[in-house]
């Protein structure tokens, strides 16, 4: 039986096998070293962060995060936020940045794998026959070449792995940036919607007071005809009614402006928000006592700055790896012949294996300077992360204070409104009975109107503070009641 390879072929294959074994070992060893610091999340003490918020009260329990706006049980608000998430241009911009970062991450990750290219040439040429070297082949002649070329950079020092780590962190940063846009957008839509609802309630109060003023004006005119009052009382009643109508126009103007802003946020410029009462919306309870500050980790802006810190940390390893030699492997396998029919025959076979070394020797400190730059940028990213956490903590405490104090103000405003209504009723009865001047009725009407508007404004402040609290916590806290409503839906 004829052996598959001749002795000469066997002798030529042995060095190739040895070379391949060496190269495989080198590739395996290249994954064992990773330069640069390993990332560790800064602890609370590193950012001077207390373990708990000091303003929470023991009224409820902590639940998993959810769509916090559903707590207000308003179908119109839910629809507006859904439209904003679908149509807002800032979200579309954030999505495009995610797609860009994804492409960069895949490009960087591909550097860890070998590249393989197919090259082929077909040449017909003629060489001189008048030269010093004789021509041994046909002239002109053909030359055909087919080869698979491959190369890979060995990641001995972790430069490519650090690059992939940084690219992945940058990709996640863009993901959290999109969530930050959605998170801020949701609160903006909610607050603008609350403004519109508040203006609707104020318009309702204004219209009710106009009815009272119109009735008072009609009564005063009748009393004037009976000779009971002077024309001055009639003019005072007319002035009070005109003031209310003027305030109505101003409230309508403010509502239109707020509606336009809501149109920009939702991407529906001709949006029309149906009239509804603000006082029908429920107010959330205070968060529980001992609410952990670690809930702020749910905030997407905090997560975004942490991913930026991870990327900056990985860039230090990349910069340090550039100080060490870069080793690459190259290989080619194919065929070369004078005739196309012979191109795939064993006699036409060609191959090569090689190793390259790129060692920095003198660069006037440029590479060390890059390490210093990367280290400084990591310190900047750390400071940004610490700042974002501290700012988040402040925003939570501010929102907790606002929610608690605005609830107290609302209680006082409710009592003030009730008292003002009693005074108005008494003054109207006294005026009808002839025991007081009309000026007393005007003062009572004005006080009641102001007290009612103040109560509506205080309820808006409470609801806005609750939105700010949900935003500040990154929806990391949710009242039990809201969780049950969400699950039921």
Q: Which backbone phi and psi does 389 adopt, to 5 degrees? A: -70, -45
CB-CB contact of 69 with 466 (8 Å): no
Mean pLDDT of 312-325: 93
| pLDDT-based confidence at residue 405 (cuts at 50, 70, 90) | very high
Given a cut of 80, whether residue 16 has pLDDT beyond it is: no
- Mean pLDDT over all residues of the chain? 83
CB-CB contact of 45 with 166 (8 Å): no
The hierarchical CATH code for the domain 114-154+326-359 is 2.20.200.10
Helix segments in 129-273, DSSP class H: 159-225, 231-266
Q: What angle do CA 446, 449, 455 make, to 5 degrees?
A: 140
CB-CB contact of 307 with 172 (8 Å): yes
Dist. CA 350–CA 329, nearest whole Å? 17
Residues of the chain with CATH 1.20.1600.10: 25-112+156-192+266-324+366-488
Convert the pLDDT of each residue in 387-403 to its tens digit: 998 898 899 889 889 99
Alpha-carbon dihedral sign for residues 448, 451, 457, 460: negative
Given this model, what pLDDT does residue 282 score?
Answer: 86
Given this model, what pLDDT does residue 21 score?
Answer: 56
User: For the ranges 57-71, 256-270, 435-449, which has the lowest average pLDDT?
Assistant: 57-71
| pLDDT-based confidence at residue 63 (cuts at 50, 70, 90) | very low
Given a cut of 90, whether residue 86 has pLDDT beyond it is: yes
pTM: 0.78
**Percentage of the chain exceeding pLDDT 90:** 44
| 326-337/349-358 β-pairing | antiparallel
Q: Which residue has the higher pLDDT, 419 or 64?
A: 419
Q: Which residue has the higher pLDDT, 254 or 355?
A: 254
Given this model, what pLDDT does residue 61 score?
Answer: 41
Residues of the chain with CATH 2.20.200.10: 114-154+326-359
Mean pLDDT of 274-290: 78
Given a cut of 70, whether residue 316 has pLDDT beyond it is: yes
Given this model, what pLDDT does residue 432 score?
Answer: 82
Q: What angle do CA 42, 43, 44 make, to 5 degrees?
A: 125
CATH superfamily of 25-112+156-192+266-324+366-488: Outer membrane efflux proteins (OEP) (1.20.1600.10)
User: For the ranges 82-96, 252-266, 330-344, which has the lowest average pLDDT?
Assistant: 330-344
Given this model, what pLDDT does residue 65 score?
Answer: 46
Convert the pLDDT of each residue in 161-193 to its tens digit: 999 999 999 999 999 999 999 999 999 999 999
Convert the pLDDT of each residue in 373-387 to its tens digit: 999 999 999 999 999
Q: Which residue has the higher pLDDT, 343 or 90?
A: 90
**Percentage of the chain exceeding pLDDT 70:** 81
Burial class (CB in 10 A: 0-12, 13-18, 19+), 345: exposed
Give the alpha-carbon dihedral of 336, 339, 343, 349, to 10 degrees.
-40
CB-CB contact of 94 with 305 (8 Å): no
User: For the ranges 196-200, 249-253, 374-378, 394-398, which has the lowest average pLDDT?
Assistant: 394-398
HEC letters along 19-86: HHHHHHHHHHHCCCCCCCCCCCCCCHHHHCCCCECCCCCCCCCCCCCCCHHHHHCCHHHHHHHHHHHH
DSSP symbol at 330? E
| pLDDT-based confidence at residue 58 (cuts at 50, 70, 90) | very low
Residue 372 in tokens: 């210093």
Mean pLDDT of 54-76: 65
Given this model, what pLDDT does residue 280 score?
Answer: 86
Given a cut of 90, whether residue 79 has pLDDT beyond it is: yes
Query: Which of 489, 421, 409 shows the shortest CA–CA distance to 456?
Result: 409
User: For the ranges 412-416, 458-462, 474-478, 483-487, which has the lowest average pLDDT?
Assistant: 483-487
| pLDDT-based confidence at residue 62 (cuts at 50, 70, 90) | very low
DSSP assignment of 117-129: EEEEEEEEE---S
Angle between helices 300-321 and 159-225 (to 10 degrees): 160
User: For the ranges 294-308, 310-324, 356-370, which has the lowest average pLDDT?
Assistant: 294-308
474 in helix, strand or coil? coil
Convert the pLDDT of each residue in 109-159 to its tens digit: 998 888 999 999 888 887 776 667 666 666 787 888 888 899 988 888 889
Dist. CA 278–CA 178, nearest whole Å? 31
């Amino acid at each position: 039986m004829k052996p598959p390879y001749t002795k000469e072929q066997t002798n030529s294959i042995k060095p190739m096998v040895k070379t391949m074994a060496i190269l495989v070992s080198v590739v395996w060893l290249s994954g064992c070293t990773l330069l640069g610091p390993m990332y560790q999340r800064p602890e609370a003490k590193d950012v001077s962060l207390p373990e708990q918020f000091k303003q929470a009260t023991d009224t409820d329990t902590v639940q998993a995060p959810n769509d916090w706006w559903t707590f207000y049980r308003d179908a119109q608000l839910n629809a507006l936020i859904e439209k904003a998430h679908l149509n807002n241009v800032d979200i579309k911009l954030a999505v495009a940045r995610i797609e860009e970062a994804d492409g960069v991450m895949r490009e960087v990750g591909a550097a860890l794998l070998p590249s393989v290219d197919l090259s082929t040439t077909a040449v017909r040429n003629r060489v001189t026959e008048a030269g010093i070297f004789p021509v041994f082949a046909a002239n002109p002649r053909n030359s055909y070449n087919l080869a698979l070329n491959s190369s890979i950079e060995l990641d001995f020092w972790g430069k490519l792995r650090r690059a992939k780590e940084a690219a992945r962190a940058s990709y996640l940063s863009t993901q959290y940036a999109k969530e930050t846009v959605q998170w801020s957008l949701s609160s903006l839509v909610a607050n603008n919607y609350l403004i519109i609802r508040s203006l609707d309630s104020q318009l309702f109060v204004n219209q009710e007071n106009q009815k009272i003023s119109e009735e008072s004006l009609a009564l005063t005119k009748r009393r004037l005809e009976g000779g009971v009052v002077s024309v001055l009382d009639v003019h005072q009643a007319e002035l009070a009614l005109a003031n209310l109508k003027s305030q109505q126009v101003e409230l309508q103007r403010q509502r239109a402006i707020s509606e336009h802003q809501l149109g920009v946020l939702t991407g529906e410029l001709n949006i029309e928000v149906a009239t509804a009462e603000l006082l029908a919306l429920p107010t959330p309870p205070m968060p529980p006592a001992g609410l952990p500050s670690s809930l702020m980790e749910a905030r997407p802006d905090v997560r975004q700055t942490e991913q930026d810190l991870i990327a900056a940390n990985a860039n230090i390893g990349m910069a340090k790896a550039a100080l060490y030699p870069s080793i690459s492997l190259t290989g080619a396998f194919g065929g070369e012949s004078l005739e196309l029919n012979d191109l795939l025959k064993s006699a036409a076979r060609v191959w090569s294996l090689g190793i390259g070394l790129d060692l920095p020797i003198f660069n006037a400190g440029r590479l060390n300077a890059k390490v210093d730059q990367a280290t400084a940028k990591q310190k900047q990213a750390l400071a940004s992360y610490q700042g974002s956490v501290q700012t988040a903590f402040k925003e939570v405490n501010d929102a907790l204070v606002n929610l608690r104090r605005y609830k107290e103000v609302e209680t006082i405003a409710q009592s003030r409104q009730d008292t003002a209504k009693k005074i108005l009723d008494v003054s109207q009865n006294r005026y009808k009975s002839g025991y007081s001047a009309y000026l007393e009725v005007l003062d009572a009407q004005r006080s009641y109107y102001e007290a009612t508007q103040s109560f509506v404004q205080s309820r808006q402040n409470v609801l806005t503070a609750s939105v700010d609290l949900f935003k500040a916590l990154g929806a990391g806290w949710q009242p039990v009641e809201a969780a049950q409503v969400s699950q039921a839906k």
